[in-house]
Amino acid sequence: MLLAIDIGNTHIKLGLFSGTKLEHKIRLVTDQDRTEDEYGVLLVGALAQRGLTPNSVTMAILASVVPELTEGVASIVRRLFKREPLVVGPGLKTGMPVLYDSPREVGPDRIADAVAAYERVQGGVIVVDFGTATTFNVVSPKGEYLGGVIVPGVRVALDALLSRAAKLSRVEIGEPPRVLGRNTPDGLKSGVIHGSAALVDGMVERLVAELGFPCTVIATGGMAAVVKKHSKAIESVEPDLTLEGLRILYERNTKSSKEP
């Protein structure tokens, strides 16, 4: 099985693929204070819960936006699975021209999202990824990564507000009963959900007007499903888009390495 690892600022998401099928998903909290041994124990335990052993993993690919954890997790892969992970970064064959001023600045998760989305629609596409940051990633009809937009993530923005407003209390993010909040918790929920939907709709409208070509809009990440209910722009939600992109990148690089 192929183990795809996406190290984000908040969570480490892992996917186990049998061929093109995502058979299992694992999610761990990103914690830079956690040791390699601790992560190793957690991963072996998560595999065991799914009836798997380290021998089940025969291939691995890793994307990380947390440099402090990249080598540690790669080391875990080498030690547990006896495999050298393919690390997404400069020099990796993506099959997608990156038309960014400095391509090295583009997060590997954003490239994985873009690759998977273009593979699905084969046309202009905007990926909205609701993570620690909310990112908009744009791919041209020719399959070129053009750039995007970065906005503070939903939870990051809410945490910042609550830390600066003494009279506001933490609320569980969820579906508001209506747009107009008639109490403080509902007002916060409306701001988070309807505000995020309005952000997406407004940003997509501006991007498409500037680009001059139509785009399919795909959302992924933790808040994607609930925001889609109130967004006019989002056409589909693909919760495993990043992991799917990592699978595609692994295939492209291993296939290319076998070519003469």
pLDDT tens digit string along 24-72?
999 999 999 999 999 999 999 999 999 999 999 999 999 999 999 999 9
Q: For residue 118, is pLDDT > 80?
A: yes
Burial class of residue 246 (count of CB atoms within 10 Å of its CB; 0-12, 13-18, 19+): buried
230, 114: one domain: yes
220, 159: one domain: yes
Contacts of range 45-49, beta carbons closer than 8 Å, 24 or more positions apart: 46/14
pLDDT on residue 16: 98
Residue 152 lies in a domain: yes
**Helices within 93-153 (DSSP H only):** 108-121
43, 146: one domain: no
Domain residues for the domain of 51 are 2-87
145, 28: one domain: no
For 234, the enclosing helix (H) or strand (E) is none
**Measured between alpha carbons, how far is 18 from 16 in angstroms, rounded to an integer?**
7
Q: What is the mean pLDDT of residues 129-156?
A: 95
Write down the catalytic residue from 6, 109, 113, 129: 109
pTM of the model: 0.91
User: Minimal CA–CA distance to 179: which of 194, 168, 157?
Assistant: 194
Per the structure block, which two tokens stand in for 20?
Answer: 């093109």
User: Minimal CA–CA distance to 61: which of 100, 10, 116?
Assistant: 116
Number of structural domains found in the chain = 2
pLDDT on residue 259: 40
110, 184: one domain: yes
Q: To 10 degrees, the CA torsion angle through 98, 104, 106, 110?
A: 80
Residue 227 lies in a domain: yes
Helix (H, G, I), strand (E, B) or coil at 28: strand
Q: What is the largest CA-CA distance in the chain?
A: 67
**Measured between alpha carbons, how far is 33 from 68 in angstroms, rounded to an integer?**
10
Contacts of range 226-231, beta carbons closer than 8 Å, 24 or more positions apart: 226/174, 226/175, 226/193, 227/130, 227/193, 227/196, 227/197, 227/200, 229/175, 229/197, 230/193, 230/194, 230/197, 231/197, 231/200, 231/201
Q: What percent of the chain has pLDDT over 90?
A: 83
Q: In angstroms, what is the C-alpha Rg of the chain?
A: 19
The chain-wide mean pLDDT, for the chain, equals 93
CATH number assigned to the domain comprising residue 74: 3.30.420.40
Active site residue 6: no
Kindly give the interhelix angle for 67-81 and 36-49, rounded to the nearest 10 degrees.
60
